[in-house]
Each structure stands twice: as C-alpha cells, then as structure tokens.
A and B are shown apart, each in its own frame.
Chain A
Amino acid sequence: MEKIPIIKVGDTLLVSIQTDLQDQVAMAMQSDLLSKIETTSARGVIIDISVVDIVDSFLGRVLSDTASMARIMNAVVVVVGIQPSVAITLVELGLELKQIPTALNVERGLLLLREKLGGSDGRADAAGSEALGGDEEIARNGHG
C-alpha cells in the first residue's frame, strides 16, 4: 500500500494528500500523523489538499476526525489549498467542515498556525481570518 509522506518543518508537520486516494491510505495517514504528533511533539499540522479534486463524505470525515484527534493531542490542524470547485461541492453536499480551520495555501496556513498557537507576529492575524473568509466567499458566489 502506498503511503502519504509526513514532513517535519520546524515544529510543524506537513502532509500533502494526493488525488484518487484510497480509503485505507487515508486511514493510514490519520494514524501515522497522530503517532508523528506524539513522537515529535509538533503543535501544528498542515494538511495540503490542493491536488485533491474531490472530497466526499468519507474523506471529509477523515479530515474532520483527524483535526479533532489532533486537538485532543494538543496540536492544531489547518487544511489548506481546497480547490474552489471542491469547496462549492462540499457546501452543497452539506459538509462544510466548519470545525476545521482552513487557509488558501501553505504559506497562509503557517501564518494561521502561528496565530492559533500564540505567535507574536501581528500579520498572522489578518492573513488567517482573511483566508477563512475567502473560502466562504468562493463557495457562495460560485453556486449555480
């Protein structure tokens, strides 16, 4: 079975999910990530889904479960790179993933993490909330 690499950058873990992911691979990613959070004491996780062209109820659930589990382990997950067409479809499907912080790209995600983890960089604040608002905007305007 293929495996999704998890890269450690500073105190952040970076996961890039490929497209056409098999369910087992997604589940393995979830448990690998939780072990990595434990062994590295990472506080922040970025899950990049920019090349994922569909998120159905299964993958949506894996993402939100992963975020909840990480939270229990005192780490924050930010999902980045959701394609506009995926965001629109998720909202129409009824899975808004409201409880998961999102950002437009890895760079914005890192700023959002810094903000959430109590960094001192003032710019992080603006970038984070703007990225969140931006995703919603796309989802609403693109309907139809």
Chain B
Amino acid sequence: MVTVSRSTRLSIANEIDLVRARQEVRVQAQALGFSLVDQTRITTAVSELIRNMMKYAGGGTMDLEAVRNGVRAGLRIICVDKGPGIPDIGLAMKEGYSTSNGLGYGLPGTKRLVDEFDIWSEVGKGTRVTISKWR
C-alpha cells in the first residue's frame, strides 16, 4: 500500500511557477536520495507536464508527494488542469503527435522517464497526469 508522508501543492500559471516547481521537485528528489540522473529525469518529466498545462489549459495545479510503499520511498507528482481535455489519449501518447506544432515528445517522453504514468482526461473537464518514481 502506498502512503503519503508529505504533500505540497503548487499552483501553476506562468513561467516563474514552472521554474519554482522544478526547483521544488529537484530539492525533494535530492532529499529522498535519488541519483543525479533520476533527479534529472523526474524534474524534466515535471517540466514537460507543466508546459502542457500552461500551453493547453492555461495552468493548473501540481501536487508533489513524498510516498512510501513498504520499504521503498518515492515521489509522486499529480498535475491537474481544468482545460479542454484530450479527445484521444492514444493519439496524444504517440511520439510526434502534436496539435501545437510541437515535437510531440512531451507525453511519450515523460512516460519513459518515470516508473509509473497514468493519464486521465475528459473533453470539456480537464486533464490529470500522475507520475511516480521509486528509489
């Protein structure tokens, strides 16, 4: 069973929030003893998710949770927005698919960088992406 030992919520509206969120994630990943590469993976994943929230939904919130599963410690990050939602998640997860003339690597790349990746979205309601990385 996964238990949450600490949770921090940041609201995301602009670039300054993005930089702050990345710093916060880096600090907590460091504190949990993640390797430098894992710290970089998690921080980059978060950067991609927050960029999507800002670009497609005008912002949202990020919950950063220090979690534990038995003896394993980890970080769980939940990005939630109330934007337009994603009509076809399968398509959005495809490498190279972008509705904004982007590279379309954000979501599939993020999934590769973390241990667990879950996406929920409903058109007109919003999008929630949950990622976890375990030590």
Contact = CB atoms under 8 A, between A and B. Distances in A.
Interface string B8-52: 000000011001001100100000000011011101100110010
Contacts of B39: 85
A89 interface: yes
A88 interface: yes
Interface residues of A, number: 22
A98 B44 CA distance: 19
Interface stretch (A29-37, A51-59, A117-125): A51-59
B51 A54 contact: no
B103 interface: yes
B113 to A, nearest CB: 6
A22 interface: yes
A93 interface: yes
Contacts of B19: 20, 22
B44 A56 contact: yes
Contacts of B110: 93
